[in-house]
Chain A
């Protein structure tokens, strides 16, 4: 959040006219810095939390992309802004006016849907005119101060909108006779002709083929510049997000991971998820030996970061194109051997095995498979991120002398200091969890929801049947949606007495 604000300080506020937001908004048209303000929005569907206490501010006139894997909540967030979903908790403001309970047909936003959703019984012209015919515009000379558009005005506006999307002569055409790309243009024209303050685009290019997609990307960008209104664009395609947006909002698990302009997202991902999701990356676990010195793969390297605790464990990201690869001279930062080379059009992508790690390296110069190489990384290109959790934390109950029940299973853990029936906090380090292929071999069953390669190991996230998350550091790769069993190494587990109030204050500290 703070990143956006900093970036936006010198951006001038667009003096865009406020449209009529139904009757209620007529009263209080406050002009605010942010055209859209999402405050603490939570959305729960049938017990599943899709958006988790999410807050976001969007500046007037910007092209903002909500980016994330499917199921991350980006579309739900967009639908909350459009008014098709009501947040379980939290408020949404448009131009400073709370609109959480305003129905979609009274909001000053328009939506372009992924599958166009054109009206099949109307021709192109009538589709585009649909919203205009309903719109009330302020006119002091009219009876109630508002009137509807005249036929001539509608015709002019529709034709202008069709011109803008390059479909001037298509007004009389049946929408079913158009190609996918043309239908999407009609959908865009239909939305922008209403002159919304915010245009919402829900994966609008998802159904188009690659070439069409690229064309539309450029056109949308141009349209945004010409119209000067705010665009909120939802996509799972990171390239699309980086090329088109002023600001990218990376989401995962219903929460915002990072908000920044594209270059920053790419160069300085705020955590390992963002780094893994955006572009290709080498992700390591490192130790900050002291300020400006990082140790990865048992090598001390210079870096440009400071302010970490001594010997703090951190995530380290190095982009493949930032690794300098040369013929082996024996005293590179890392010396190794090329495992494979693939030509990618403008560069070669090579897998290099060095210090027991498979580096992904991109270079203009080709090094044949099997050749000895040296790798160098400039201090500037070592991106260091605070490690998030390393320990799973659950609340459990002592059920026997050597058994604790939590997450819907009973685990064998020595409980010498506790009585049966005591509530305890169970700390399970990521390394203490073992996944088993056969669900029956584990104490509880779970589904793999994410697997990120961290250099020397995989960090796997699983979701148990009792709705708990487990993070596991393991040398094995697990596939998404795999059904697995969970076992725990009791010797690494720590217990602590559980008192609900203490728990609360601890949580706040962490925040």
Chain B
């Protein structure tokens, strides 16, 4: 009797787990599956297996331009925000206790803020700068890079700060004590310790930028599309089948990066254990 009920629970557990996994992955699986089909819409008659959608993808100039824009915005904003975020994290780390708490918290408020509010904020700021202050700013690439840098910098701070807390508290002092000025100490002593965290911060900032739709759509100009705005536009007008192939590629890239990242982490942990 007891055994039976135990096995019933075991089966129930697996059913729940499977149900959850299916709920998570079904949409992705559908898209991936139909990216290899001639079907007109996802879920319809599968038709026959084909790479045609992928071929179309590389013939679609609009999409290639959007991809280029996305990469430029992502890489440039991630690069700037990594530098800004790291220096900010170091600055915050060495602050007096009382001020530190205030600055730390205020640097993280935008992380929890609703994105639509941030997006509106950028839009209105742009208008304010242009109309009232008279600066030559406009919606478009440069403004998007600025906006993405601002959004992602707090995440870099968030990634670098824990590493700083692990460091020996006297490290910077030891360097200065041995005759290195503040800038040299920062570059030759602090940066090597933070390199790993900075790479993680860069990766996070880049992914966030890649992913962003809300801020981008409100702050981009009519002729500049990123992947996310391109996909959205495609959905609204007439779902272009190419998007299935595009989504699959993005998913595969993200998956590959994730796996590579984990392998790297494991290796590092093993190395440290060996020491």
Contact = CB atoms under 8 A, between A and B. Distances in A.
Interface of A: 46, 82-84, 103-106, 109-111, 113-121, 130-131, 134-135, 174, 176-177, 190-191, 194
Contact of B179 (A114, A174, A194): A194
Those 6 A-B pairs whose CB atoms lie nearest each other, nearest first: A131-B178, A117-B170, A121-B192, A117-B174, A134-B179, A113-B170
B98 interface: yes
B275 A176 contact: yes
B176 interface: yes
Nearest to B173: A84
28 contacts: A46-B97, A82-B173, A83-B176, A83-B177, A104-B177, A105-B178, A105-B185, A106-B179, A111-B174, A111-B177, A113-B168, A113-B170, A115-B169, A116-B168, A117-B168, A117-B170, A119-B175, A119-B189, A121-B192, A130-B175, A130-B180, A131-B179, A174-B275, A176-B275, A177-B275, A191-B177, A194-B178, A194-B179
Given A105-B180, A135-B179, A190-B178, A111 B173 contact: yes
B181 interface: yes
Nearest to A174: B275
A134 B181 CA distance: 10
Interface string B157-177: 000000000001111011111
B193 interface: yes
Given A174-B275, A176-B275, A177-B275, A117 B173 contact: yes
Contacts of A176: 275
A121 B177 CA distance: 18
Contacts of A115: 168-170
Which interface residue of A83, A131, A190, A191 has the most chain B CB atoms within 10 A? A131
Which one of B170, B181, B184, B189 has the greatest number of beta carbons of chain A within 10 Å?
B170
Nearest to A177: B275
A178 to B, nearest CB: 10
B178 A121 contact: no
Interface string B121-152: 00000000000000000000000000000000
Contacts of A134: 178-180, 184
Interface of B: 96-98, 168-171, 173-181, 184-185, 189, 192-193, 275
A110 B175 contact: no
B266 to A, nearest CB: 19
A109 B179 CA distance: 10
B173 A120 contact: no
B132 to A, nearest CB: 42
A174 B193 CA distance: 15
A368 B275 CA distance: 55
A121 B170 CA distance: 15
- Which secondary structure dominates where chain B touches chain A? helix
A176 B271 CA distance: 12
Nearest to A106: B179
A46 B98 contact: yes
A114 to B, nearest CB: 8
B180 A113 contact: no
Nearest to B179: A134
Nearest to A111: B177
Given A130-B175, A174-B275, A105 B168 contact: no
A117 B174 CA distance: 6
Contact of A110 (B97, B178, B184, B275): B178
Contact of B174 (A46, A119, A121, A177): A119
Given A105-B180, A134-B180, A190-B178, A121 B193 contact: yes
Contacts of B177: 82-83, 104-105, 109-111, 191
Determine which residue in B97, B175, B275 has the highest number of CB atoms from chain A within 10 A of its CB, and name it.
B175
B36 to A, nearest CB: 48
B179 A119 contact: no
Contacts of A111: 173-174, 177
Contacts of A177: 275
Contacts of A83: 176-177
Given A82-B177, A191-B177, 11 more contacts: A46-B98, A84-B173, A84-B176, A104-B177, A105-B176, A111-B174, A115-B169, A118-B168, A119-B189, A131-B179, A134-B184
Output the residue of B177, B180, B193, B275 with the most chain A CB within 10 A.
B177
Nearest to B178: A131
Nearest to A46: B98
B173 A113 contact: yes
A84 to B, nearest CB: 5
B195 to A, nearest CB: 9
Nearest to B171: A117
A456 B254 CA distance: 77
Contacts of A105: 176-181, 185
A177 to B, nearest CB: 5
Contacts of B181: 103, 105
A46 B99 CA distance: 12
A131 B168 CA distance: 18
Residue of B98, B170, B175, B179 with most partner-chain A CB within 10 A: B179
Nearest to B189: A119
Nearest to A200: B177
Contacts of B169: 115, 117
A120 B193 contact: yes
B164 to A, nearest CB: 13
A12 to B, nearest CB: 29
A255 to B, nearest CB: 25
